[in-house]
Amino acid sequence: MANEQEMFEAAAKAIIDYDVAKAEATAKQALGSGVDPVALLEKGFIAGITEVGDRFDSGDVYLPELMMAADAMKAASAICEQAFPTGAIKEKKKIVIGTVAGDIHDIGKSIVVSFLSANGFDVYDLGRDVSVEQFVAKAGEVQADVVGCSALLTTTMEEQKKIVEALKEAGLRDKVKVIVGGAPTSQGWADQIGADAFAENAAEGVNKVKALTGI
């Protein structure tokens, strides 16, 4: 339906324009018109944040704009998630996720958070520049099923290894799966540090988390 498609395009544009207020208003308007919240998130807002990410990768967008787009994405996601249908998943699996210490790159992780939420997971987003201690403490506090840690710099990859080791020391490793991601990471790196999975992008990340949690 054309009107729905227009809503998707408006949602994407709000993110591309880094406009938090517009993103919130568009989400409320679209949901009020009966647009499916999951479709709005995936075909509208996530499409927009993906476009911003592509522009960042190509050097057309810089870090300040990236962060503003991420803020708009978070605001829109919060509204969409409140409208998600209940009962889709009987037992919500708990995911603790963040960008590792020393790394302020947030956009890829934010896209993963949106995808996971859209697929019915209970996501605890720790944000960026998250210490090993914060990952472990939150995983223990919420009894997480999975810990996801993103590293976008070769200089911060080592933090992912430290998280795996710290979970072992805390006696949580046999209860918590670990998935890693980020541009410099790979399946080989995941195998090397003893992580359970590696994901190259958000869609693959959701599929890997589903496999890890038996959904």
Domain boundaries, the chain: 2-82, 94-213
| pLDDT surpassing 60 at residue 215 | yes
**Cα–Cα distance, 114 to 161 (Å, whole number):** 25
Cα–Cα nearest to 136, from 168, 184, 99: 168
| pLDDT surpassing 60 at residue 2 | no
The pLDDT of residue 67 is: 77
**Cα–Cα distance, 56 to 79 (Å, whole number):** 25
| pLDDT surpassing 70 at residue 89 | no
**Cα–Cα distance, 65 to 186 (Å, whole number):** 27
- pLDDT tens string 187-206: 999 999 999 999 987 778 88
- pLDDT tens string 107-154: 788 888 877 876 678 999 999 999 999 999 999 999 999 999 999 999
Record: fold of 94-213 = Rossmann fold (3.40.50)
The pLDDT of residue 10 is: 96
The pLDDT of residue 200 is: 86
What is the CATH architecture of 2-82? Orthogonal Bundle (1.10)
3-state secondary structure of 83: coil
Mean pLDDT lowest for which of 9-18, 46-55, 93-102, 119-128?
A: 46-55
Structure tokens at 179: 């998935």
| pLDDT surpassing 80 at residue 53 | no
H or E stretch covering 197: strand 197-199
**Cα–Cα distance, 150 to 154 (Å, whole number):** 11
Q: Is residue 86 within 8 Å of residue 51, measured between CB atoms?
A: no
The pLDDT of residue 214 is: 87
Q: In percent, how much of the chain has pLDDT > 70?
A: 94
H or E stretch covering 76: helix 63-82
Phi-psi region of 172 (alpha: psi -120 to 50; beta: other; left: phi over 0): alpha
Write down the mean pLDDT value for the chain: 89
Cα–Cα nearest to 35, from 74, 82, 72, 3: 3
Report the 10 Å Cβ neighbour count for 97: 28
- pLDDT tens string 149-187: 999 999 999 999 999 999 999 999 999 999 999 989 999
Structure tokens at 136: 């472990």
The pLDDT of residue 117 is: 75
Name residue 179's beta-bridge partners: 148, 197
